[in-house]
């Protein structure tokens, strides 16, 4: 059923306001950079999305990366203890980030940056 949907949300991530205080204790622990890097499925998903959205300058816009991920998988950064995709991406330490223009976030895989520099 999950694969038949363009977007599937797991109900365990949605709570009512009355359950919010109870769920705080039950919400997933924020995973460390080491734990995130060892999750090969997560790393592959993030790297593939950044690569798919790469521009001529070698950087990917975070909004496009998020859209690409939501079209490819049932993914929620809250499952890893992060409220936003940008926080999760920063926590992995796998990507360079920079803000441009009107504070627009851009990403690039650190491996690609090393290849172009060396």
pLDDT tier for residue 55 given thresholds of 50, 70 and 90:
very high
Residue 77 domain-assigned? yes
Q: Where are the alpha helices (DSSP H) in the chain?
A: 20-26, 33-38, 40-52, 62-72, 85-92, 110-117
Whole-number pLDDT of residue 17? 43
Residue 4 domain-assigned? no
Q: Three-state DSSP class for 67? A: helix
Cβ neighbors of 70 (< 8 A, separation 6 or more) are 7
Residue 2 domain-assigned? no
Predicted TM-score (pTM) of the model is 0.75
Cβ neighbors of 67 (< 8 A, separation 6 or more) are none
CATH of the domain at 78: 3.30.420.610
Residue 5 domain-assigned? no
Q: What is the mean pLDDT of residues 39-45?
A: 96
Whole-number pLDDT of residue 10? 62
Residue 1 domain-assigned? no
Residue 3 domain-assigned? no
Residue 93 domain-assigned? yes
pLDDT tier for residue 117 given thresholds of 50, 70 and 90:
low
Instruction: Select the more confidently predicted residue: 37 or 24.
Output: 37
Residue 23 domain-assigned? no
Please state the domain count of the chain.
Answer: 1
Please give the residue range of the domain that contains residue 43: 32-117
pLDDT in tens, 59-96: 999 999 999 999 877 889 999 999 999 999 999 999 99
């Amino acid at each position: 059923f999950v694969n038949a949907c363009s977007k599937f949300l797991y109900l365990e991530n949605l709570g009512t306001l009355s359950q919010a205080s109870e769920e705080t204790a039950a919400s997933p622990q924020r995973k460390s950079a080491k734990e995130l890097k060892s999750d090969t499925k997560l790393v592959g998903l993030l790297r593939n999305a950044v690569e798919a959205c790469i521009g001529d300058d070698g950087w990917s816009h975070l909004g496009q990366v998020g859209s690409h991920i939501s079209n490819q998988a049932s993914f929620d950064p809250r499952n890893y203890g992060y409220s936003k995709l940008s926080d999760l991406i920063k926590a992995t330490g796998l990507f360079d980030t920079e803000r441009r223009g009107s504070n627009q976030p851009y990403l690039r895989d650190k491996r690609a940056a090393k290849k172009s520099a060396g």
